[in-house]
Structure 1
Amino acid sequence: MGYDRDLTESRDTLRGMTEQMACRGPDDEGMWLSPHGAVGHRRLAIIDIEGGRQPMIAEEDGRELVVLTYSGEVYNFTELREELEELGHRFRTRSDTEVVLRAYLEWGPGFAARLNGMYALGIWDTRTEEMLLVRDRMGIKPLYYYPTLDGVLFGSEPKAILANPLCRPAVDADGLRELLSFVKTPENGIYQGMYEVRPGSVVTVGRHGVAKERYWRLESHEHTDDVETTVATVRGLLDDIVERQLISDVPLCTLLSGGLDSSAVTALAANALYRYEEGKLRSFAVDFVGYAENFSPDEMRDTPDTPYVHDLVRHLDELGVEHADIILDSGDLMDPEVRSAVLRARDMPTGIGDMDSSLYLLFKAIRGHSTVALSGESADEVFGGYRWFHDPKAVHAGTFPWLVEGSGHRFTALEDVLRPDLARELDVPGYRAARYRQALDEVPRLPGETGLEARMREISYLHLTRFVQILLDRKDRMSMAVGLEVRVPFCDHRLVEYVFNAPWAMKTFDGREKSLLRAAVRDVLPASVLERRKSPYPSTQDPAYEKGLRDRTARVLSGHVAAEPLVDVGRIRAMLEAPQDEVSRHDVRGALEGFLQFNAWLERYRVRVDV
């Protein structure tokens, strides 16, 4: 949108921005332009295939009132539709999109608080000539914006905004610090001048400028339910959430890792489909060639996934679950086209390499069978599942616990290959410390709560507002890059609010992680899955993968290196000469992943780094 020019003359620019989102919406496209507001949309058709086309326009007496572009799903749209019909609204489609549009007409910006779902949406109100940008409570769906001198550019991903000539890809020192820090500061869009809409927020852009308002945030309340009641409440919520998220007019499946979280979603979904006689559930898992046979335990992973996946499928045999393992090899993960697609999906380097590539390939394979998938993502943040939740050193470290040495993850590999003087100037540890203090200042305190209970409320808040954003963003980018919608039942705000306020002693009442979840789904899972220790998303252990990284790095260093002004090329060359052993698999491999993606990003996106 813009007030100082006629946007009806910007059709080609709008088309270029919209085409950048073709991966997210392969089924349809649409554009709407007026002198001061222009909206583009690419559609992934899930509900009401014919009737839900966008941009969707609300009219009255032949006058266009509101234009909507919307990504995601609203799971309570049926109830909202009934309420709106009682208020006099008439609907011409079966889509949740029209319900969102009518909800705005009825309740104005306050409509967002009535939605249950995952959504990112833009609303151009012709009556006020204002643009509203709205994001779901947990930030499941991404939404970026870039204020201009006379308005705003917006899109689901940075690439849509970068396609407009008003935005040039540049990163300043703070953007680079954020990129390296692995803390996901709310609103920071990495690119200079670009922002993310904060989860649970409405951003209004008008002639007055930009105004931001939060319609939802985590709050602290005294939890008065006993353990038995709490477990029953969690189960009741999960049953309702999963049933709501099974609504789809296209084929649907679940992602299954054999862990407690994905197994719970799969079992509850299979039972619901069986109960309502709606057919068999499909499930999919990722695996690597020779992974189970040659698995070597590490700091984070005690066991491979496949045996537990198959245990769960056998346990659900009478429900008729149709399962498939998607098996990848190192050649798949090192495929230049795959790595390029991952970078394009991300719009910025992450340095986690094969865990992005394998997820992208898993989703690509699933898309050949299903358009919607349910995931167990975010249960660890909600119920306290990560190992560092239970490690006193990490809990009391005075920083983000996932960054504490010994937590088992290497999130800062790119930092290891920066030029030493640049690393000192950026002072990423200092940046993390400042962001940590900022996050703690936001924590909603419970009066009288002290000691470990108070600290674990802080730890939970850090995960539900920072760490979960990292994983949700990864999930969304890799899935939407192939036109697959992934739903996240554990991010339903009702469940998040309820469990956030359960005391830590209750969340660990059986002496294990995720006690409440385990107890809530005990009746639908096999003992092996119930007793399995937390194991993160798998990473290939094939030595051929690291060899491929080393070979690729050597080839890059033999030519023009876009990142050369920023990285220590000598250090990288020394890493290539280091022996390929168990240590290098964590350290050298991570550094090479970071360097390769950082270099490719600078080169392909033509990013100007202002430090």
Structure 2
Amino acid sequence: MCGIAGFASSSLHTDSRPGVITAMLSEIHHRGPDGAGYYLDDDVAMGTVRLSIVDLVTGAQPMSDATERYAICFNGELYNYLELREELRALGRPFRTRSDTEVVLQAWIQWGPACLPRFNGAFAFAVRDAVGDELFLARDRYGKRPLFYTAGRDGFLFASEMKAFRAYPGFRFALDPHELKSVFGLWTPLPDRSPFKGVRQLPPGGLLTVRAGRTALHTYEELAVEAEPFAGTAAQAAAFVRETLRSSVEVRLRSDVEVGVYLSGGLDSSIVTRLATDLSPHEVRTFSVEFENRSLDESDSQRSVARYLGTRHSSIVVSTADITENFPAAVHHAEVPVFRTALVPMYLLSRHVREAGTKTILSGEGADEAFLGYSLFRETMLRAAWNGLPDEERDRRIAVLHPELSHFGPEHRTHMKGLLSQFSSERLPGLFSHELRYQNGRFVQRLLKDRSEPFADLLALVGNTPGYAALSPTQKAQWLEFKTLLAGYLLSSQGERMGLAHGVENRCPFLDPAVVRAAASVNLRFDDGWEEKAILKEAFKGLLPADPLTRRKQPYRAPGSGSFQEHRPDYLELVLSGRELKEIDGIDPVFAERLAAKVMSTPVADISTKEDHAFIHLLSTALLNQQFVRDRSDYMRTPPDTELKVTTVVDRRRAASLIGGK
């Protein structure tokens, strides 16, 4: 796991380029505190800050091949690198290190872009072909690792985090009101977007070619949520899923450093912990978040699983004061407006993990998307079948639809039936499954001056995606979750970005391509979708304590806007002052000030979900405006990093005196 950055076709004088690439890497030093290096030629500069996980001795980056035609800066892990190395050796490719980075480089030299579908990993990388005068950028199929880019008159820039662009002379951030419309409506940017003008993401499964200042974007692998139905019995399906997950955890334990586990106490993380304890040659360390607010806390379940599996367990306790104190730093690392504070506990947990001496962890992310774990999927099935169901069946299904939400209780049954009936037919083409959720997004749009259709870009995306229209309502719901909230929030703002803020790598066994395919083949094959993750539970029956197998899913939540009422940090003035709100491009300062004042004066129990989301969106946007647009370091609230030390330099400029030096 690392961070990468660079530029091409730059107007910068050649003598200034080493200083600029070093400054860009310094901005993302937190991602890779174990080493740094850069590559230069007459057209490209690129570099890496390295978090050493595999091949601690000879895996330094950037890395070149023996001919010096190709060089790579690699962020992430290739889990099937041992198998690919043997295949490449048999084809005559030479290896000088034990690193997965060199496997990626040699695979690229051997197969070109055709190597990408062969990769089982979490990655974003840049490959320079000096002879072909091309730069290639690629990102993994599920968007586990970030990669941003921007192109203008002064050149093409790319980086794992946008903050690296701050170090490039002349670059300035500006919020994009059009993209804020999507972020507020969907809770996340679209797969190829960012909240800043002119800055794009390489989408999951994407490949970008840069040549002579021109770019060409390709998709090397489309997201697939359908598969041939599993042909065997339920028992055989459970065994198939269990063994597929076992193989996934096994390859993700490949590491030259300790691998721990994030243990929430739910089914998914318990499964990962069970498999890790079975497969690891070492005692497994587990890490958890506890909350002072007992209604949010799952520590009893966490400790129960840890005791049952015999892990070495530790946790942190998060208070509302912790939320307000660390919210600016978490937003600074997320680099995007957020709709809830749940990223802050993960920011604090990764700091605890790193202080404990661990820098690689496994988590259960992706299980709900792959195995239909969210109540959103059951809601979609109910709404799709609504008009054909007798009234008593509607009542039965509503009773178990959202047990975690009080407004789905018996006293609200009549209202909920009316709401579900109202949304039993599609209004937004292709977005049927998410239409109820998107109502909160429509409320948040009132924060913006531009209140045109917030879902227009998403409608265009699904409308232009081959095969999407033929998917079932449930499969469309899965596709939307993978493409929006999973990649854009759970794996990034709440996941990768919070981990790498403290140099901790997150690995996701449920997002192995084989696991996702296995889930697609068994989903709804052996139950009607109303027994939450039935096959997963059957697969690990007898291997886990009763609680994670029998307890209904408790969504991960953190203290919300009430935290800011209770502690009222000084930066709250950013949303309580009309003068400050006028400084945020695209925000309606009148409505925003009124909303903030209402949330800050309303009893916490009476703040609606949509108001809570809108307030957090507004506050995080105001902080981003200070941190990136106005470049106010006093609003970052992140501890100073250690000084970047460059240990590897590959200088291939024609005028350079040092060629391939270290």
TM-score, length-scaled by structure 2: 0.80
Whichever residue aligns with residue 539 of structure 1, its letter is A
Pick one of 528, 553, 557 that aligns with 1:538.
557
Distance across 2 between alignment mates of 1:446 and 1:572: 38
Structure 1 residue 529, shift from structure 2 partner: 0.9
The within-5 A match list for 1:430-445 is: 430-436=453-459, 438-439=461-462, 441-442=464-465, 444=467
Pick one of 345, 351, 372 that aligns with 2:333.
345
Matched, 1:426 2:420: no
Pick one of 176, 181, 192 that aligns with 1:177.
181
Pick one of 620, 623, 626 that aligns with 1:600.
623
Structure 1 residue 554, shift from structure 2 partner: 5.1
Whichever residue aligns with residue 515 of structure 2, its letter is L
Whichever residue aligns with residue 192 of structure 2, its letter is E
In the alignment, what sits opposite 1:298? none
Residue 247 to residue 401, structure 1, CA distance change in 2 (3 Å): farther
Q: Are the equivalent residues in 1 in contact too, given 2:48–2:62 (CA < 8 A)?
A: yes
Q: What is the DSSP-based 3-state SS (H/G/I as helix, E as strand, rest coil) of the residue aligned with 1:442?
A: coil
When structure 1 is superposed on structure 2, of 357-366 and 396-405 the one drifting more is 396-405
- Structure 2's unaligned 5+ residue stretches are 1-6, 384-419, 632-662
In the alignment, what sits opposite 1:280? 283
Pick one of 165, 171, 183 that aligns with 1:161.
165
Structure 1 residue 120, shift from structure 2 partner: 0.4
The within-5 A match list for 1:6-21 is: 7=14, 9-21=16-28
Whichever residue aligns with residue 270 of structure 1, its letter is T
Residue 523 to residue 563, structure 1, CA distance change in 2 (3 Å): farther
Q: Are the equivalent residues in 1 in contact too, given 2:209–2:216 (CA < 8 A)?
A: yes
Residue 440 to residue 254, structure 1, CA distance change in 2 (3 Å): farther
Q: Are the equivalent residues in 2 in contact too, given 1:26–1:43 (CA < 8 A)?
A: yes
Q: Are the equivalent residues in 2 in contact too, given 1:7–1:34 (CA < 8 A)?
A: no
Residue 541 to residue 9, structure 1, CA distance change in 2 (3 Å): closer
Q: Are the equivalent residues in 1 in contact too, given 2:265–2:299 (CA < 8 A)?
A: yes
The within-5 A match list for 1:265-414 is: 265-273=272-280, 278-289=281-292, 291-292=293-294, 295=295, 304-316=297-309, 320-335=310-325, 338-353=326-341, 355-369=342-356, 370-391=358-379, 392-393=382-383, 396=424, 398=426, 400=431, 404-405=435-436
Higher relative contact order (CA 8 A, sep 6+): 2
Residue 462 to residue 594, structure 1, CA distance change in 2 (3 Å): closer
Spell out, residue by residue over 1:260-304, the C-alpha distance to the aligned partner (whole angstroms, 9 max, x if none).
11111111111112xxxx121000110112x33xx2xxxxxxx74
Q: Are the equivalent residues in 2 in contact too, given 1:562–1:602 (CA < 8 A)?
A: no
Pick one of 504, 516, 520 that aligns with 1:484.
504
Whichever residue aligns with residue 306 of structure 1, its letter is S
Distance across 2 between alignment mates of 1:95 and 1:272: 22
Q: Are the equivalent residues in 2 in contact too, given 1:143–1:196 (CA < 8 A)?
A: yes
Residue 576 to residue 176, structure 1, CA distance change in 2 (3 Å): closer
Matched, 1:495 2:502: no
In the alignment, what sits opposite 2:482? 464
Structure 1 residue 314, shift from structure 2 partner: 2.3
Matched, 1:210 2:215: yes
Structure 1 residue 437, shift from structure 2 partner: 5.3
Distance across 2 between alignment mates of 1:415 and 1:549: 25
Pick one of 84, 88, 101 that aligns with 1:84.
88
Residue 110 to residue 236, structure 1, CA distance change in 2 (3 Å): same
Q: Are the equivalent residues in 2 in contact too, given 1:218–1:444 (CA < 8 A)?
A: no
Matched, 1:523 2:542: yes
Distance across 1 between alignment mates of 2:93 and 2:231: 40
Structure 1 residue 117, shift from structure 2 partner: 0.6
Whichever residue aligns with residue 482 of structure 2, its letter is L
Structure 1 residue 59, shift from structure 2 partner: 2.3
Residue 455 to residue 405, structure 1, CA distance change in 2 (3 Å): closer
Q: Are the equivalent residues in 2 in contact too, given 1:443–1:458 (CA < 8 A)?
A: no
Structure 1 residue 198, shift from structure 2 partner: 1.4
Structure 1 residue 213, shift from structure 2 partner: 1.9
Residue 173 to residue 538, structure 1, CA distance change in 2 (3 Å): closer
Distance across 2 between alignment mates of 1:598 and 1:384: 32
Structure 1 residue 523, shift from structure 2 partner: 3.1
Residue 255 to residue 401, structure 1, CA distance change in 2 (3 Å): farther
Structure 1 residue 546, shift from structure 2 partner: 3.5
Q: What is the DSSP-based 3-state SS (H/G/I as helix, E as strand, rest coil) of the residue aligned with 2:158?
A: strand
Residue 166 to residue 57, structure 1, CA distance change in 2 (3 Å): farther
Structure 1 residue 387, shift from structure 2 partner: 0.9
Q: What is the DSSP-based 3-state SS (H/G/I as helix, E as strand, rest coil) of the residue aligned with 2:491?
A: helix
When structure 1 is superposed on structure 2, of 203-212 and 477-486 the one drifting more is 203-212
Residue 483 to residue 412, structure 1, CA distance change in 2 (3 Å): farther
In the alignment, what sits opposite 1:299? none
Distance across 1 between alignment mates of 2:69 and 2:580: 52
Matched, 1:248 2:250: no
- Structure 1's unaligned 5+ residue stretches are 296-302
The percentage of counterpart residues that share the same residue type is: 30
Structure 1 residue 70, shift from structure 2 partner: 0.5
Distance across 2 between alignment mates of 1:82 and 1:148: 42
TM-score, length-scaled by structure 1: 0.86
Residue 444 to residue 223, structure 1, CA distance change in 2 (3 Å): farther
Distance across 2 between alignment mates of 1:574 and 1:590: 15
Q: Are the equivalent residues in 2 in contact too, given 1:549–1:592 (CA < 8 A)?
A: no
Spell out, residue by residue over 1:518-551, the C-alpha distance to the aligned partner (whole angstroms, 9 max, x if none).
2222232111110111112131379655322487
Residue 539 to residue 92, structure 1, CA distance change in 2 (3 Å): same
Residue 311 to residue 556, structure 1, CA distance change in 2 (3 Å): same
Whichever residue aligns with residue 343 of structure 2, its letter is D
Q: Are the equivalent residues in 2 in contact too, given 1:221–1:446 (CA < 8 A)?
A: no
Distance across 2 between alignment mates of 1:98 and 1:270: 30
Distance across 2 between alignment mates of 1:605 and 1:118: 27
Q: What is the DSSP-based 3-state SS (H/G/I as helix, E as strand, rest coil) of the residue aligned with 1:513?
A: coil
In the alignment, what sits opposite 1:201? 206
Distance across 1 between alignment mates of 2:97 and 2:463: 45
Whichever residue aligns with residue 460 of structure 1, its letter is Q
Residue 555 to residue 350, structure 1, CA distance change in 2 (3 Å): closer
Structure 1 residue 576, shift from structure 2 partner: 5.1
When structure 1 is superposed on structure 2, of 30-39 and 566-575 the one drifting more is 566-575
Q: Are the equivalent residues in 2 in contact too, given 1:39–1:69 (CA < 8 A)?
A: yes
When structure 1 is superposed on structure 2, of 196-205 and 548-557 the one drifting more is 548-557
